Structure 1
Amino acid sequence: MESNQRLLVISPHLDDAVLSCGLLLAAHPGTVVCTVFTAPPAENITTDWDRAAGFADAFEAMRTRQAEDREALGLLSALPVHLLFRDAQYHASPGADELLTALSQIVAHAKPTRVLMPLGLFHSDHVMVANACLALMRRQPATRFIAYEDVPYRRMSGVVQERLCDLAKRGYAADAPHALDVPGTTQHERMKRAALDAYRSQLRAFGPEGQASLFSPERYWQLARDESSRHPQSA
């Protein structure tokens, strides 16, 4: 990838960017990582996932997870931006227009040449963010959008191909990018593993079996509007 490229990674949760794009981040210091769901609920609650991660309640969880994210991205020389939306487990997901407006503002400020977005696999938060990015892509025709395969959900049988078929039906073409530098050097692998280790609470929730699937090859898809599609649909 050309040295003058400015990357913006859109991450649903506080770990998704490193899980899915950690090698890319290691190779491109200065990348902006915008995480969408980083706010606690309006009133404190306790969820099964937060308990599994070792937290007493949601307020403690989000405070600690933000700190973990800053530590992890710091190890990769990436720049964190935290949007204050609440994820699905806190029962207060943002509206589509509200999310699109916030992401538009981030893009306007960062002025990226490439936006990396989740492919949008399985998890409702991931699908919501991916669909908002698709809408943003239509507003930003001069900016290249690249979808990353969401870890760990990409390991679920058939989910990647199902999503690609869905995108094709909606008028989006997905191809392997030709100019994306994702090195597999030992140095970058060490950097990614160190960054993943910073998400201590999330590794605890994944457990030993789940952790084994987290460090896997990164895969990306170049997205474009397919104007030849007979049935293009809005995101």
Structure 2
Amino acid sequence: MSERINFAYVRSTPRWDAHLLRSGQVLRLAGDDIPDPRLATQLDALNRPERSRTEQLIRSRDLPDYRRIPRGDSELRVSFDIALPFKTNSAIDLRLKSLRLFRTGLAFHVVAHETTVEQMPSLNQPSNEQMNFGSRIKPGEPHRIRLIVDTITGPILANSTHPGDYPDDPNEPWLHGGRSWRGIAENLYGITTGGEYFLSPPPLGPLWITVAYPEFDLTSTTIELQLPQLS
């Protein structure tokens, strides 16, 4: 037994399997530290190359329509009236909602409900105390939710990627952030924060959708989503 332990300890070039590498990518995107520097180096090598800032800005203004949430319902194939809860370690109710499958991709909302004791809560908290479920960190907003979509057989996508870095191949998966919002909940006791996202093209298999928000003590939590295959 001691020989096996010693062998594992002195081994200088560990072989990280594919599952561990994918898990490490997700954890890093969620804001978690990677304690092993050798694993961190391996993850660095897997990062998607980024374009120059100028090219990113130009491309983000020319985002193809098939990468955006379609307007209207002409391209809508089916909608799902479900609200899937994320298991969290806090009192915040966090859900995946409003799933709509278009011919060009899957639109969905990530929505949080913060319960308050007052009937009409204030929305004027300092910016560092307000959740941001959008894909951008706007001026005056110090943080945003971490949203990661693992396509399992394809790339790992995140809302932290610049919209101008979308792939040229229309068949390669891509995650695009749409509108975001924050307001008083419908029942008046609480604040609702949400963000809209679009995964294109439509997924061909299961997805692992992970969210984290360390600034609000929301640790990484994952939902496995499997949509029915439509003919």
Measured against the shorter chain, the TM-score band is under 0.3
Higher relative contact order, structure no. (Cα contacts within 8 Å, ≥ 6 residues apart): 1
Which has the larger helix fraction? 1
Using structure 2 for the length normalisation, give the TM-score.
0.24
Computing the radius of gyration from Cα coordinates, the structure with the larger value is: 2
Using structure 1 for the length normalisation, give the TM-score.
0.23
